[in-house]
Structure 1
Amino acid sequence: MKYQFSFQKVLDVKEKEKELAEQEYESIRLQQLEVQEKIEGVKDSKERLLKQYDQVNRRKVSDFLHLQQEVDYINQQLKDLENHSHELHQKVEKKQQVLIEKTKEAKIWNQWKAKSLEAFQKRLIKEEQALMDEMAVLRYFRKV
């Protein structure tokens, strides 16, 4: 007699949901890391630009205005990226909560399957023992 979990399809669905939640979480985390790298790159370019700004000895006012425009542009990029990073951080937290919920659900179903298997095995052992007892009784009465 082979064991078959009666809710195996539900368990499979829960496992797939968990895997999908993991993939979504990893995807959004990857996006967050990419944005962080972009932020670091923009900060580095801002640092270089500010060093150029500091090293100016005798330049025209137009050069200063141009550098100021570049600094303003970089600051705007940085602000946009930080806003995007904040949004991604919120999405990561939501996806993490979904992943935790899906993991709990899958774990509950897996535990139920394990308990069901254990009950099946106990019932099988009990039936086997009853059969052995009956065979022993029949042998005893045939000898007598």
Structure 2
Amino acid sequence: MRFRYVYQKVVDLKSNEKTQAEWMLSAAVGILQAEQYSLEQLVEERSRTHAAIQNEMENKASMIKLQELQRYMDYLETCITRKIGDVQRAEVNVDQKKTILTTKMLDEKVWLKARDKAKEKFQQEMLLREQNELDEMATVRFAMRAR
């Protein structure tokens, strides 16, 4: 007789939920990395623009060119500020997904432990049955020899 856990479908469901939570966390981490990369690109662009302004000032460039570069610099600052907010939201999202994954992992662990205990109990009962059958066979043999 094989062990068959009554709540195996619940265990499978909990495992699937954990897997989905892992995927969601992975996606959230991917979004966070993309936001961080985008922020790095904006910061690098700001540095290049700042260097261009310095270069134009040294070369006695036209005021219009300097104003254009300054407006672009202001635009980059605004973009960086927004992107910092995006990164912070992505970090919060990652933290939430971690919490969800932790909860799902705990749920799965509880159900796996319950299944393991049920399996142990089943195995103990099977051993007891086998032992009782062997004892009964030995008793019958002893009784037949005693006649």
TM-score (norm 2): 0.96
CA distance in 2, matches of 1:10, 1:80: 44
Deviation at 1:76, TM superposition (A): 1.0
Partner of 1:2: 2
Aligned AA (1:80): R
Partner of 2:24: 24
Partner of 1:102: 104
Determine helix, strand or coil for the equivalent of 2:89. helix
Determine helix, strand or coil for the equivalent of 2:97. helix
CA distance in 2, matches of 1:69, 1:126: 85
Structure 1 residues 35-93: Cα deviation after superposition (integer angstroms, max 9, x where no partner): 10011111111111111111122111111110111101111111111101111111111
Counting only pairs closer than 5 Å after superposition, residues 1-144 of structure 1 correspond to structure 2 as 1-56=1-56, 57-144=59-146
CA distance in 2, matches of 1:4, 1:85: 48
Aligned length: 144
CA distance in 1, matches of 2:144, 2:31: 78
CA distance in 2, matches of 1:130, 1:53: 93
* Structure 1 residue ranges without an equivalent (≥5): none
RMSD (CA atoms): 0.7
Aligned AA (2:110): I
Between the aligned residues of both structures, percent identity stands at 24
Deviation at 1:24, TM superposition (A): 0.5
Deviation at 1:106, TM superposition (A): 0.2
Determine helix, strand or coil for the equivalent of 2:4. coil
Determine helix, strand or coil for the equivalent of 1:4. coil
Aligned AA (1:49): T
TM-score (norm 1): 0.98
Deviation at 1:12, TM superposition (A): 0.8
Deviation at 1:8, TM superposition (A): 0.4
Determine helix, strand or coil for the equivalent of 1:55. helix
* Structure 2 residue ranges without an equivalent (≥5): none
